[in-house]
Amino acid sequence: MSFNKQNIKQALETITAPGEGKSLVENNNLKNIVIFGNEVIVEITISNPTLQAKKKVESEITKAIKSNVSEDIDVKVNVTVEKPVAKENSNPNQIRGKEIPNIKNIIAIASGKGGVGKSTITANTAISLAKMGFNVGVLDADVYGPSQHIMFDVEKAKPLSVKVDGRSKMKPIENYGVKLLSLGFFTDPNQAVIWRGPMASKALNQLIFDGAWGELDFLLIDLPPGTGDVHLSIVQALPINGAVVVSTPQNIALADAKKGVAMFQQENINVPVLGIVENMAYFTPEELPDNKYYIFGKDGAKNLAEDIKTQFLGEIPLVQSIRESGDVGHPVALQNGTVLEEAFNNITKEMVAQLLKRNENLPPTEVVRITTMSGCSSVKK
Ligand SMILES: Nc1ncnc2c1ncn2[C@@H]1O[C@H](COP(=O)(O)OP(=O)(O)OP(=O)(O)O)[C@@H](O)[C@H]1O
């Protein structure tokens, strides 16, 4: 049996550093390799202080060396826990969480109140972005009731495992030009799953960091409704560039939307709010498209945006076909040349324009590269 440090290093390149999406070697966790005859001592540092993380990485290293180099090697792993050095937050708009290679912009879609159409807005804006020529992904993080797999008509799909740079990753399911990963692919639709904040954020971290997303211009995250523990865990763990808050015009929804905006603006979260979308702004019967009935009140979200000095990104009417098309997995943004396609296009353009403005103040992530300008005239870049 003959081997050298390079063989051991190559074996370690197949292991993903916990929660990083990079190998132990690439992520600088590996500190030293010492070889004495058939004994190999691997010294690594990790930032996760739990015994479970330590045991997991020890066992992965032993397994990788034995299967890639030789079964006969006696592997010893010395793990030290190093607290990550807290960088001084000189920029008040600093993005939280680690950067994700290949994903240029992450936008969280939130709502204070449930059922206001957050998932509908996420699916349709994702499709609008894809039609404009961007590479788009959607992460359904609605742990209480994932629905994107239904809206994208891939309800029964199961993501496959693929090897990327020697590591196993989950291949998102793709439809309508959008890549999707959802907790809905892994949970039984007939069973209620109760997620606590850290558990939910761990599962979502895995979907993000261990997803084979490829190059993405935008990853939209469909957050659960509300402003609870789960949200805090998610938004603090991920490098979110901006959040969009969806509301309907009635007071009860607006009060919750205000709380949603306030959550992102809290000092320990500090995710820039790109703006508010007003959904179900008015009712329009399909057969009388010029009639507008303001059944939930008029301009509620627009006024709220003004009051709290946030951008108003636009409005979507309450139309029966929006509900029907979502239910059958064929969102209205797929239509061509219709009023509804245009309404979603306008909101999407405004969202991108606001994101570009925000990115000018955000050094850690790359400003989105506009790969095509088609349908994106409001973006002056
Ligand atoms: N503009 C609209 N016109 C008609 N129906 C709509 C509209 N927006 C959403 N809906 C319908 O309202 C219901 C709730 O929408 P959706 O699931 O998008 O809300 P949500 O805020 O994501 O809900 P949850 O709080 O459960 O996550 C769905 O049946 C959807 O099709």
Q: Which residues are annotated as a binding site for ATP?
A: 112-119
Ligand 1 atom closest to Cα of residue 320: 4
Check whether domain 103-359 has CATH 3.40.50.300, yes or no: yes
* Of 23-37, 168-182, 303-317, minimum mean pLDDT range: 23-37
Q: Which of 88-102, 111-125, 361-375 has the lowest mean pLDDT?
A: 361-375
How do the domains of the chain map onto residue ranges?
A: 5-81, 103-359
pLDDT level of residue 323 (50, 70, 90 thresholds)? very high
Residue nearest to atom 28 of ligand 1 (CA): 323
For all residues of the chain together, what is the average pLDDT? Answer: 85
Write the pLDDT tens digit of every residue in 205-258.
788 888 999 999 999 999 988 877 777 777 777 788 999 999 999 888 888 889
Give me the residue label for tokens 């059922």: 115
CB-based contact 218:250 (threshold 8 Å)? no
Atom of ligand 1 nearest to the CA of 279: 1
pLDDT of residue 264: 87
Question: Lowest-pLDDT range, 124-133, 170-179, 258-267, 363-372?
Answer: 363-372
- Based on its alpha-carbon atoms, the radius of gyration of the chain, rounded to whole angstroms, reads 23
How many angstroms from the chain centroid is the CA of residue 192? 23
Q: Is 359 in the pocket of ligand 1 (CB under 6 A)?
A: no
Instruction: Give the pLDDT score at 86.
Output: 44
Digit-coded pLDDT (tens) for 4-51 = 999 999 999 888 876 666 788 888 889 999 898 889 999 998 887 777
Q: How far is the CA of 147 from the centre of ligand 1 (A)?
A: 10
Q: Does domain 5-81 have CATH number 1.10.10.10?
A: no
Q: Is 316 in the pocket of ligand 1 (CB under 6 A)?
A: yes
**How many A from CA of 121 to the centre of ligand 1?**
8
Query: With a 6 A CB cut-off, is 247 part of the ligand 1 pocket?
Result: no
155-182: average pLDDT = 92
- Amino acid, res. 41: I
Answer whether 115 contacts ligand 1 (Cβ < 6 A): yes
Which of 125-139, 145-159, 168-182, 232-246 shows the lowest per-residue confidence on average (mean pLDDT)? 232-246
Ligand 1 centroid to Cα of residue 119, in Å, is: 6
Count of beta carbons in the 10 Å neighbourhood of residue 322: 22
Q: How far apart are CA 235 and CA 58, in angstroms?
A: 30
DSSP state of 85: P
Q: Is 253 in the pocket of ligand 1 (CB under 6 A)?
A: no
- Which residues lie closer than 8 Å to 324 by C-beta, 6 or more apart? none
Span 316-328, mean pLDDT?
Answer: 94
| Residue 35, token pair as written in the block | 């070889």
Phi-psi region of 165 (alpha: psi -120 to 50; beta: other; left: phi over 0): left
Ligand 1 pocket check for 329: Cβ under 6 Å: no
